[in-house]
């Protein structure tokens, strides 16, 4: 057996225990939350909450019905809000604004837990994403032309006629979600180990270093930034948590990264979901990218001022 084969085998074997640990931790969060949200939707509680948010949405150029999509995105992945979106009579312009909001806030309960485990404050990250989504929507409402994109979807919402039928639907979707989580996280952990073993992470970090500097991010976050943009926070959690727990990334650096990816992540898959229904890609990518950069540099300046005022420093 060649040296390269042995190194690959060791990379795979050492990745499995870490992947198992992260998968179990994630599923303990995802499964109960998804069940709870499914029950709330079945009982009409989410529609009730959305009703009280209607006045707020009028300030960002959206009708009251949009609140239902937004609330759903906080608790679930983008497939659920897109399914609801398909049943609402919204214009392409309104769908574009709502798409950007959902891209910032989707699956926030689970993803904020991931960020909390890597050293950031849960409440801060949660509020950052909610506030950022409304800030982005406010400026988009000012900047977007009257006619934008071709976003239009016409489907029927899934209506469950009994509690048992709802549980069955939830069970099927949860099964495929578990399969997806196991496969993606295991594959990602194996890839990370291989990149480390063959010193490819250093090459990636060097190539992304100029971009990190522009965004105000430490060079040490290059690979994690790349993973978060390709796979998102949920599936990238394995790599992020592992890097922090093994002291490969300080909590301070992880915190800076979290401020960025709280607003701007999963640029590939999630953006394509909305692009598939006609939402303009650039209007989804540029606002989040710019807002994330502004937030990180603002945070860096705030921390710098805080250090000047107090000689005692610690984790942020």
Write down the pLDDT at residue 47: 78
Give the Å distances, CA to CA, from 120 to 28, 115, 189, 213, 302: 20, 6, 22, 21, 16
Distance CA 85, CA 155 (A): 9
State the pLDDT at residue 55. 83
**Tokens encoding 148:** 């934008």
The pLDDT tens digits for 84-112 are 787 777 888 999 999 999 999 999 998 99
Distance CA 65, CA 187 (A): 39
Inter-residue contact 104 to 232 (CB < 8 Å)? no
* Residue 183 Cα to chain centre, angstroms: 19
Return the pLDDT at 208.
87
Mean pLDDT of the chain: 86
What is the full per-residue pLDDT of the chain (316 aa) written as tens digits? Answer: 688 888 888 989 988 998 888 889 878 888 888 788 788 878 888 778 777 877 888 889 898 888 888 988 998 888 788 877 877 778 889 999 999 999 999 999 989 998 998 889 999 999 999 999 999 999 999 999 888 766 655 445 567 889 999 899 889 888 988 888 888 888 878 887 888 788 786 787 788 888 999 999 998 899 889 888 887 888 778 788 888 888 888 889 999 999 999 999 988 878 888 888 889 999 999 999 999 999 999 999 998 888 888 765 444 4
132 and 263 Cβ atoms separated by less than 8 Å? yes
Residue labelled with tokens 């710019």 = 290
- On whether the CB atoms of residues 224 and 243 are closer than 8 A, the answer is yes
DSSP 77: -
Positive or negative CA dihedral for 31, 36, 37, 41?
Answer: positive
For residue 151, what pLDDT is reported? 62
Tell me the helix, strand and coil percentages in the chain, rounded to 5. Answer: 80, 0, 20
- How many residues are given for the chain? 316
Whole-prediction pTM value?
0.80
Residue 211 to residue 125: CA distance in whole angstroms: 23
| HSE-up of residue 55 (Cα within 13 Å, Cβ side) | 1
pLDDT at 316: 46
């Amino acid at each position: 057996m060649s040296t390269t084969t042995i190194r690959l085998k060791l990379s795979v074997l050492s990745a499995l225990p870490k992947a198992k640990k992260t998968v179990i931790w994630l599923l303990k969060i995802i499964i109960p939350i998804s069940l709870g949200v499914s029950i709330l939707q079945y009982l009409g509680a989410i529609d009730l909450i959305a009703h009280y948010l209607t006045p707020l949405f009028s300030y960002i150029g959206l009708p009251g019905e949009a609140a239902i999509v937004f609330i759903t995105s906080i608790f679930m992945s983008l497939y659920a809000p897109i399914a609801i979106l398909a049943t609402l009579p919204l214009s392409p312009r309104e769908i574009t604004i709502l798409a950007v909001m959902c891209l910032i806030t989707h699956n926030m309960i689970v993803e904020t837990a991931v960020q909390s485990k890597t050293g950031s404050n849960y409440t801060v990250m949660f509020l950052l994403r909610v506030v950022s989504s409304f800030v982005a929507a406010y400026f988009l409402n000012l900047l977007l032309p009257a006619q934008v994109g071709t976003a239009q979807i016409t489907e029927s919402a899934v209506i469950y006629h009994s509690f048992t039928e709802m549980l069955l639907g939830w069970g099927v979707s949860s099964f495929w979600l578990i399969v997806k989580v196991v496969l993606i996280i295991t594959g990602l952990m194996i890839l990370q180990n291989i990149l480390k073993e063959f010193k490819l992470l250093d090459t990636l970090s060097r190539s992304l270093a100029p971009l990190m500097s522009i965004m105000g991010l430490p060079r040490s976050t290059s690979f994690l930034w790349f993973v978060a943009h390709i796979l998102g926070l949920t599936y990238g959690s394995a790599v992020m948590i592992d890097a922090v727990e093994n002291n490969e990334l300080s909590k301070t650096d992880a915190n800076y990264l979290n401020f960025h990816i709280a607003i701007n992540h999963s640029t590939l898959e999630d953006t394509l979901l909305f692009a598939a229904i006609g939402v303009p890609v650039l209007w989804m990518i540029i606002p989040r990218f710019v807002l994330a950069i502004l937030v990180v540099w603002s945070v860096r300046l705030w921390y710098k001022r805080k250090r000047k005022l107090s000689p005692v420093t610690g984790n942020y």
